[in-house]
Amino acid sequence: MTRRRWIADEVSGNHAALTGAHATHLARVLRARIGQEFDILANGVLHRARIATINEDRVEFELGEAIPAGAETVQLTLLLAIFKFDRMEWAIEKVTELGVSRIIPIIARRTDTHLAAAAAKRAERWRRIALQASEQSRRTSPPEVSDPIKLSGVLAPPSGLKIVLSEREEQLKLIEIDPPEDVSEIRLAIGPEGGWTEEELEMFHQTGWVSATLGPTILRAETAAIASTAITMSSLSR
């Protein structure tokens, strides 16, 4: 039987701990017992671990042998324009399961002003969702979830493949893009409800982004995020 995997909140020597709500879920919901074994990621190293003590807000483990955690792939950064929070949380959970390395919430021109104003207070919740999804999908680490930022602040990153999904694009399909073998990072930009503005698309093109389409239909933002992540991650394993 596959052991449940957790990412430690604290590490000290050959001990690790889950704290707060993280520990409460294990102790109260899953009814963990002293002596029970799990896989624990401690400072980036995966260990077989045994529960030493249990409290509602703290579960401590004794770390055992290190075990293989699996190879990492090319880094995929998702620029996700902010949209309705319930659907955005669902998208964050699913793209984490699919393997994104970093999620950057974007305040776009068509982002609802109320959502933009409240987004900074949601960032910590988004990180918790990504952490839980990482444990469920047995990732070696959770994706980084950045604080919300305006689009202009992330348009010109270092070298790498940069793709923006655009409703204006009719020729190049995302599935047709074959990443170069030496690429270390791919950035993928998903627009808000209503799509990117003409001015934003021009900003993308001026900073070296490639436009691509998922097809002739108009998708919800969360559907586009999940579909494009799945296609891109699949292309990296071809």
Per-residue pLDDT of the chain (238 residues; tens, 9 = 90+): 456 788 888 999 999 999 988 888 888 888 889 999 888 888 878 888 899 999 888 999 999 888 876 555 678 999 999 999 999 999 999 999 999 999 999 999 999 999 999 999 999 999 999 999 998 888 878 999 999 999 988 887 667 899 999 988 888 999 998 887 778 889 999 999 889 999 999 999 999 999 999 988 889 999 999 999 999 988 765 5
Residues 128, 231, single domain; the answer is: yes
Residues 201, 87, single domain; the answer is: yes
Residues 189, 100, single domain; the answer is: yes
Residues 223, 156, single domain; the answer is: yes
Structural domain containing residue 168: 75-235
CATH number, position 16: 2.40.240.20
| pLDDT value for 73 | 61
Residues 30, 86, single domain; the answer is: no
| pLDDT value for 141 | 83
Q: Which of 66, 87, 105 is the last residue of a domain?
A: 66
Confirm whether pTM is higher than 0.85: no
Q: Which residues contact 46 (CB under 8 A, 6 or more apart)?
A: 5, 39, 40, 66, 67, 68, 69, 140
Question: Looking at the 3D structure of the chain, how many domains does it have?
Answer: 2
Residue 216 DSSP symbol:
S
Q: Which of 42, 66, 90 is the last residue of a domain?
A: 66
Residues 187, 90, single domain; the answer is: yes
| pLDDT value for 72 | 53
How would you classify residue 215: left for phi > 0, otherwise alpha for psi between -120 and 50, otherwise beta?
left
Residues 174, 142, single domain; the answer is: yes
Contact 228, 187 (CB under 8 A): no
Distance CA 28, CA 217 (A): 45
Residues 90, 28, single domain; the answer is: no
| pLDDT value for 237 | 56
Residues 137, 216, single domain; the answer is: yes
| pLDDT value for 157 | 66
CATH number, position 205: 3.40.1280.10
Q: Which of 28, 46, 66 is the last residue of a domain?
A: 66
Distance CA 192, CA 83 (A): 6
| pLDDT value for 1 | 46
Residues 56, 147, single domain; the answer is: no
